[in-house]
Amino acid sequence: MSVLNEFTDKFLRSAQEAHTYRTMRHICTPEASHVEIANESQNTARKVLLLASNSYLDLCNEPELKQAAAEAVLKWGTGSGGARLTTGNKTPHEELEKELANFKGTEAAITFGTGYMANVGTISALCGKNDIIFSDELNHASIIDGIRLSKARCYVYKHNDMADLQRAINDAKMEQAKKSSDIDEHAEPAHSLIVTDAVFSMDGDLANLPELQKIAHANDCLLMIDEAHSTGVLGKTGRGLAEHFNDMGIPCDHADVTLGTLSKSVGCEGGFVVGSRQLIEFLKNKARSFIFTTAMSPAMAQAAYNNLKFIEQHPERVQSLQENVKFFCKALVKAGLVPAGSQLAETQSSAIVPIVIGDEAAALTASANLQERGILIPAIRYPTVAKGQARLRASIMATHTQEELLHAATCIAEVLTTNH
Ligand SMILES: *Cc1c(COP(=O)(O)O)cnc(C)c1O
């Protein structure tokens, strides 16, 4: 066996033994509340209810938006032909960024190829090896990779634990004070960044934005939040985490840096950062994942612009999603299943509803049994979540009917009780 095959084979065999081997489902219809899964060996397809999509508002397959996207391809062609800083920057990019700033209520916006690239580029542009980053232990992989790339010193705090964040800040200050004697006094002053998911992608819970702002302010830290799963989901009009708290009467500003993706509720592709004009100009000049890559296709930028406008004009779509989430959680409770962290059932706001099972193999079996019954809910396992924390992760869409959600909750309960 070649060295390469030996090395890759060993990895794959141990993944198989640990029940963490990954394969891709082949879906042969567009992303919508129902999809068909191809069975290649039998040359058939199976229609399932999709409780697994990030397209929370079901915009990927919305007829008028598909038509507008098709027209954008006819107008702007298939590709952008260059980086944003060379020839790639077309009218749709300019309009999309204005619209993003407008939607989020900030001065300016910058788009990236993906949300992953936005995190990697933004964190490594803002922080270098003399800086300090405080990171929630459940932050998304793209945040973690951005931190690694920045080479900043990173302190991980316990999930959503504001006392532990303060503890980490105090630890960092003490270490800095010890080192300060041998720091070059001409060096730029180090800065500190707190970074967190707004909605945690595997648990569906929310970051405590008001408290984070207080702590950031009191300790001279910048605050960055990743709104991948909250844009289009939280707040009466889908503006995200700050709107969610403001709706509850808890005053809340934007974080210094707000990041998001166009690939989830917006139903397109691309990442973005919104904030002050100064911040955005800085990122255009410094973020390597913005500079050294081809601009997203102008048709995609136009589609994202159209879909954002659709969200603005259809707040009832966001409200349907929120009602569906509440309905589904109640149905789970009635069926005897309380979603992870029992407080979730009452206060669940995000569209991600985890049902923690623990054992990797049991989670896989439950997911397979549900698929047999025509419901697609993935099993999430290590390394996406910690070992022994495997779970079914249901994601709700605005277009699911209550009948479908009730049926799904009943099936989940049945599958889990017959499993044990
Ligand atoms: C999905 C996700 C991203 C990445 O966004 P893409 O556009 O899919 O690359 C970043 N952060 C969080 C929290 C996410 O859930």
Is ligand 1 within 6 A of the CB of residue 195?
no
Write the pLDDT tens digit of every residue in 17-67: 987 788 899 999 999 999 999 998 899 999 999 999 999 999 999 999 999
Alpha helix positions (H), 287-343: 288-291, 298-313, 315-334
* Pairwise CA distance, residues 143 & 311, whole Å: 26
Order of strands across the sheet that contains 108-112: 108-112, 271-275, 257-261, 221-226, 192-197, 132-136, 153-157
| 3-class state of residue 311 by DSSP | helix
Write the pLDDT tens digit of every residue in 99-111: 999 999 999 999 9
- Please give the full DSSP string across 117-186, using - where no structure is assigned: HHHHHHHHHH--TT-EEEEETT--HHHHHHHHHHT-EEEEE-TT-HHHHHHHHHHHHHHHHHHGGGS-TT
Tokens (6 digits) for 396: 């709700």
Is ligand 1 within 6 A of the CB of residue 201?
yes
How confident is the model at residue 176, as a pLDDT? 86
44 DSSP β-pair partners: 39
Span from the CA of 198 to the centroid of ligand 1 (angstroms): 11
* Pairwise CA distance, residues 241 & 256, whole Å: 14
How confident is the model at residue 346, as a pLDDT? 62
How confident is the model at residue 103, as a pLDDT? 98
Q: Could you tell which of 257, 261, 380 is best to mutate to test the pocket of ligand 1, judged by most ligand atoms within 8 Å of the CB?
A: 261
Is ligand 1 within 6 A of the CB of residue 213?
no
Span from the CA of 384 to the centroid of ligand 1 (angstroms): 13
> Quick check: 15 pLDDT over 70?
yes
Is ligand 1 within 6 A of the CB of residue 261?
yes
| Nearest residue by C-alpha to atom 2 in ligand 1 | 228
| Nearest residue by C-alpha to atom 14 in ligand 1 | 228
Q: Mean of the pLDDT values across residues 6-22?
A: 91
Is residue 172 within 8 A of residue 132, CB to CB? The reply is yes
Write the pLDDT tens digit of every residue in 349-377: 999 999 989 998 999 999 999 999 999 99
Span from the CA of 30 to the centroid of ligand 1 (angstroms): 20
> Quick check: 95 pLDDT over 90?
yes
Is ligand 1 within 6 A of the CB of residue 114?
yes
Is ligand 1 within 6 A of the CB of residue 271?
yes
Is ligand 1 within 6 A of the CB of residue 378?
no
How confident is the model at residue 185, as a pLDDT? 60
Q: Mean of the pLDDT values across residues 231-258?
A: 96
The residue whose two tokens read 């409200």 is 319
Write the pLDDT tens digit of every residue in 154-195: 999 999 999 999 999 999 999 988 876 665 666 666 899 999
Is ligand 1 within 6 A of the CB of residue 203?
no
Cα–Cα distances (Å) from 119 to 333, 346, 383, in that order, read 36, 32, 20
Is ligand 1 within 6 A of the CB of residue 228?
yes
ω into residue 383 within 30 of 0, thus cis?
A: yes
How confident is the model at residue 235, as a pLDDT? 97
Span from the CA of 117 to the centroid of ligand 1 (angstroms): 9
Write the pLDDT tens digit of every residue in 127-156: 999 999 999 999 999 999 999 999 999 999
> What is the Cβ-side half-sphere exposure of residue 405, based on CA atoms within 13 angstroms?
25
* Pairwise CA distance, residues 284 & 165, whole Å: 30
Q: Mean of the pLDDT values across residues 324-332?
A: 94
Residue 257: what are its φ and ψ, rounded to 5°? -130, 120
Write the pLDDT tens digit of every residue in 209-232: 999 999 999 999 999 999 999 999
pTM assigned to the model? 0.94
Helix (H) or strand (E) holding 192: strand 192-197
Is ligand 1 within 6 A of the CB of residue 140?
yes
| CB count in 10 Å sphere of residue 182 | 6
| Nearest residue by C-alpha to atom 5 in ligand 1 | 115
Span from the CA of 349 to the centroid of ligand 1 (angstroms): 19
* Pairwise CA distance, residues 306 & 71, whole Å: 11
> Quick check: 347 pLDDT over 80?
no
How confident is the model at residue 24, as a pLDDT? 93
How confident is the model at residue 181, as a pLDDT? 64
How confident is the model at residue 345, as a pLDDT? 58
Tokens (6 digits) for 83: 């980086």
Question: What letter represents residue 190's amino acid?
Answer: A
Largest Cα span, the chain: 70
Is ligand 1 within 6 A of the CB of residue 119?
yes
pLDDT band at 418 (very low <50, low <70, confident <90, very high): confident
Order of strands across the sheet that contains 352-358: 352-358, 390-395, 379-380
Of 384, 392, 143, 398, nearest to 264 by C-alpha is 398
Cα 293 from chain centroid? 22
Q: Whats the size of the chain, residue-wise?
A: 420
Q: Mean of the pLDDT values across residues 383-410?
A: 94
